[in-house]
Structure 1
């Protein structure tokens, strides 16, 4: 709060932001303006709703503070920017960006809101540092609908790889020094994104489909056909990093490929699961010659964004917002990302101070949050405050019920 308070035009807005952050860090199972206001001791959710919709402050300013906190806390050595999208299941059609679309959260087409996120990952830890809301063409082709959700007039349709490129460019402009970018097939299959990274002398390890073609020895070959040509002696068993059950061991091979008009060194990296025989393919680039182990380490970092999604949704309620407009969505997400980054950075600092103990696993973000809640954030509300809120909720629900009945009783 000492860091972000100057970003707010009024002291009451800064105090409400503090109440918001404490609430999303808390043990509340459902995090929305109603439940969070009750925990903060507010008489109603009005203050938090005002913070998200009408108060004078810029989410982009807090993004700068967030990124500075993450970089200072996690360091810059071998930093990787990881891009990926995630979906939040939503009802109705008025929430900005919502339509029936595929989301990996559900594994199928659902009524959802999708956004592309950028994770900053080092050996110390990882945290979300930026995001971009995906607006389907059903939104960008409907100016009235966009205006109702307060989408800026200059925001047009952009694919997910284009949004990822915007996030990466924004990070570079902000002075974030990252040696690598990692992502899944959505981004690896996009030649414009790969060209943008190569032109900026940024290495990448991006997953691609098995049917994608590369140029080897002056001819095109599919990724899966290329894997068949790799001799057994070329495969090396390496760990992609530490997972929940220990080191993630696979066999890896790489083949140099040709990228016309692009600088640097280029490879096709192939990962083999020696138990199932399953193969995965990565387009790779770096301005300098690097080892196979370096490419494998970056490939392993891609999963940090999945961990960031799981942790930020499960611990700080990234997906639990009940806001509908462009501004409110950007404010909710930046505040939640800031709270989650605090957990990550402080956990990393605590790990550095801990005396190594072979009988304990290292301190996790989940365990640190449990201690934070138990020792610092446990709410001590008087019973009268709880009864006041119960009365307020019931009055609000009765008004909503009456309004609904009145609408249904009107003649058509």
Structure 2
């Protein structure tokens, strides 16, 4: 993978240092920053790594484009989807670019944080980041002093997160990435002008979450809340369908949909609803497709959104996505791009290990396990390779036994009720 991006670096020293930086990100460090990465790869000081992020001459956006090509080549599938979401990194002080007190789902409250929007390429084979954009709040966008100090380019003005998401989706589609669907949470589904309408103009199908108070047109032309329309549906409108496989087996929920006939709109529009079988909690989605699709297909797409949550989790736990201590615009984009390289390596390696069935009693190698083996066998002097591999087999056997127990408990539950699909 590093060979594919090498031409984006002007000097060979920078190219080699970027390779060592990615190795350091995969070294299993308790804390990931320029100091710890430099020490892990044998540098005597962090100066070279800091220079790589701030002053060296290389094209981070070009590396992103090359990375996207590699990911599509290695994970590409006719069932590919694009998933959008944001994440917040908790930060101290006010100097790092984009940091202010704002709500972040990471903490579940208003905190001093830095927000960014990511695009994930998701297929049955695997999922990983293919694009990223830093969110610049209005307080930053209009403060020339802070902009200059953080090196924010003059053309980067305040842009909503939906517009950032649209820019990344458009970039991928115009680069030739073939996907069936776009999906994301309600922060993006609520924005018709910023995201839904432009996607429809491209005939790009989507399933985007919306809030329970989202207004949808009724049969008489009046607007009603989504939760009110859901409450009025008869019991026969709900079907037990799978949203895909989870860590503990198939994820079954009750699903229903309402056909929306919107004036001046072409294609098929629905309000999709997902109800938890135990709690009764209901989630809502605005859906569009240029062709008719089944309720089961919409449920499957909505269920794929979880892949970006897992990508954020593994990106932070395994490759230090949120642990950077950079302050400037350029350094943030470079750190994040190198993290994307490291994460893509793990995702692609994990996908390839699934091409060959594992020995009986073991689960396939996970990204976590591959990172561990890479650190032990490649980056650190192991006492004996056989010892490391024995521990790997032990962990995977334990995980296999746990998964089998979950599947056995699930099989004891009643089988899904395949009722006739009704459209409202």
Q: TM-score, normalised by structure 2?
A: 0.87
Q: CA separation in 1, counterparts of 2:359 and 2:71?
A: 24
Alignment pair present for 1:261 and 2:264: yes
Partner of 1:6: helix, strand, or coil?
helix
- Equivalent residues of 1:39, 1:379 under 8 A apart: no
Partner of 1:360: helix, strand, or coil?
coil
Q: CA deviation at 1:213?
A: 1.0
Q: CA deviation at 1:355?
A: 4.3
- Equivalent residues of 1:199, 1:263 under 8 A apart: no
Q: Aligned runs of 1:230-249 on 2, under 5 Å? A: 230-249=233-252
| Count of paired positions | 379
- Equivalent residues of 1:198, 1:262 under 8 A apart: no
Partner of 2:362: helix, strand, or coil?
coil
Alignment-derived partner of residue 191 in structure 1: 192
Q: CA deviation at 1:34?
A: 0.6
Alignment-derived partner of residue 287 in structure 1: 290
Q: CA deviation at 1:356?
A: 6.3
Q: CA separation in 2, counterparts of 1:199 and 1:76?
A: 24
Q: CA deviation at 1:276?
A: 0.7
CA spacing shift, 1:379–1:62, aligned 2, 3 Å: farther
In the alignment, which of 225, 228, 241 is matched to residue 225 of structure 1?
A: 228
In the alignment, which of 378, 381, 387 is matched to residue 380 of structure 2?
A: 378
For residues 382-410 of structure 1, what are the alpha-carbon distances to aligned partners after superposition, in whole Å with 9 as ceiling and x for unaligned? xxxxxxxxxxxxxxxxxxxxxxxxxxxxx
Q: CA separation in 2, counterparts of 1:353 and 1:221?
A: 52
Q: CA deviation at 1:379?
A: 5.0
Alignment-derived partner of residue 371 in structure 2: 369
Q: TM-score, normalised by structure 1?
A: 0.90
For residues 297-351 of structure 1, what are the alpha-carbon distances to aligned partners after superposition, in whole Å with 9 as ceiling and x for unaligned? 1100111111000000000001111111101100000010111011001110111
- Equivalent residues of 2:102, 2:113 under 8 A apart: yes
In the alignment, which of 338, 343, 362 is matched to residue 340 of structure 1?
A: 343
Q: CA separation in 2, counterparts of 1:363 and 1:246?
A: 18
Q: Aligned runs of 1:94-105 on 2, under 5 Å? A: 94-105=95-106
Alignment-derived partner of residue 15 in structure 2: 14
For residues 195-241 of structure 1, what are the alpha-carbon distances to aligned partners after superposition, in whole Å with 9 as ceiling and x for unaligned? 01111111111111111111232332210111122221121111111
- Equivalent residues of 1:183, 1:205 under 8 A apart: yes
Alignment-derived partner of residue 28 in structure 1: 29
Q: Aligned runs of 1:344-363 on 2, under 5 Å? A: 344-355=347-358, 357=360, 359-363=361-365
For residues 234-260 of structure 1, what are the alpha-carbon distances to aligned partners after superposition, in whole Å with 9 as ceiling and x for unaligned? 211111111122211101011101233
Alignment pair present for 1:111 and 2:108: no
Q: CA separation in 1, counterparts of 2:186 and 2:17?
A: 40
Alignment-derived partner of residue 393 in structure 1: none
Alignment-derived partner of residue 175 in structure 1: 176
Q: CA separation in 1, counterparts of 2:115 and 2:381?
A: 33
5+ long unaligned stretches in structure 2: 383-424
Alignment-derived partner of residue 389 in structure 2: none
Q: CA separation in 2, counterparts of 1:58 and 1:259?
A: 44
Alignment-derived partner of residue 153 in structure 1: 154
Alignment-derived partner of residue 210 in structure 2: 208
- Equivalent residues of 2:353, 2:364 under 8 A apart: no
Alignment-derived partner of residue 163 in structure 1: 164
Alignment-derived partner of residue 277 in structure 2: 274
RMSD: 1.2
Partner of 2:374: helix, strand, or coil?
helix
- Equivalent residues of 1:195, 1:262 under 8 A apart: no
Alignment-derived partner of residue 89 in structure 1: 90
- Equivalent residues of 1:214, 1:258 under 8 A apart: no
Q: CA separation in 2, counterparts of 1:340 and 1:167?
A: 18
Alignment-derived partner of residue 253 in structure 2: 250
5+ long unaligned stretches in structure 1: 381-412
Q: CA deviation at 1:370?
A: 1.7
Q: CA separation in 2, counterparts of 1:68 and 1:260?
A: 39
Alignment-derived partner of residue 314 in structure 1: 317
Q: CA separation in 2, counterparts of 1:323 and 1:82?
A: 26
- Equivalent residues of 2:78, 2:178 under 8 A apart: no
Partner of 1:306: helix, strand, or coil?
helix
- Equivalent residues of 1:216, 1:256 under 8 A apart: no
For residues 143-202 of structure 1, what are the alpha-carbon distances to aligned partners after superposition, in whole Å with 9 as ceiling and x for unaligned? 121011000001110111111111111111221111111111100111111101111111
